[in-house]
Amino acid sequence: MRSVAVALLALSLAAPAQAQAPAPRQPTISVMGTGEAELKPDFARIHVTVATQADTVAQASAANNTATERVLARIQGLGIKRDDIRTANFQVFQTPQQLGPDGKEVKTPKFSAHHQLRITTRDLDGVGRLAGEILASGDMTFQAVTFGLDRQEQGADKAREAAVRDAKRQADVYAAAAGVSLGRLLEIRDGSAQPFEPQPDMRMSMAMAKGAESVPIVPPATIRYTANVQLVWEMAGQP
């Protein structure tokens, strides 16, 4: 019996040591891929603001509603459908203090109302003319022009596909240079995918084109999307 007890004690002491032995780590190759895709824009959006002021919130809102109705009629008169005009934002706030050249406060209405409108057009070649017509109106302020796609995910998906191809190419180069081969694909870590569209400074265009028939806006030939992804492969032995 004593020999059996000693054997059991030896096994109990050896078991923790065996359980703590770390498993061999499988070597991997991790690569970050980047990709781009360029697609022709489908529409342009012109952003304008209708601004009014009054001594009360109700008066400022009512005045803005009247001015907005005039603006909507004018925009529709330019050939834009009512469904292509949307409210982007509406806010009423206290008018900031204004100082005159002598440093004294200039008396102004207490409240300001801003109604931001987003106008969508598919006539990309006519964007400059439309913006010029908007600038000629005293009821609204021209803010910016942006361009987009009907299906934004198409650009992002194509950029993601390009990023995966780039990651695979890099991994093949690293593996060949190291004298190994790629095994199973272990991980795919999604990165960002977004459009890149540099925006011009529209304030200069506004100053130059005030009262002009058109604004010198050149629509982009394409909208560029970028994406990145991290892929991790199992590293196999000698090829």
pLDDT digits (tens, 9 = 90+) for 43-96: 999 999 999 999 999 999 999 999 999 999 988 888 889 999 999 999 999 988
Of residues 212 and 125, more confidence is placed in: 125
Domain coordinates in residue numbering, the chain: 24-40+151-239, 43-148
Q: Hey, which bits of the chain come out as E strands?
A: 28-39, 43-54, 85-94, 98-99, 105-106, 111-121, 141-148, 181-196, 223-236
**According to the model, what pLDDT value does residue 8 have?**
42
* Domain 43-148 part of CATH 3.30.70.2970: yes
**According to the model, what pLDDT value does residue 21 have?**
56
To the question of pTM greater than 0.75 for the whole model, the response is no
Asked if residue 139 has pLDDT above 60, the reply is: yes
Could you tell me if residue 79 is left (phi over 0), alpha (psi between -120 and 50 degrees) or otherwise beta? left
**Separation of CA 233 from chain center:** 31
C-alpha–C-alpha distance, residues 58 and 168, integer Å: 62
What CATH homologous superfamily does 24-40+151-239 map to? Protein of unknown function (DUF541), domain 1 (3.30.110.170)
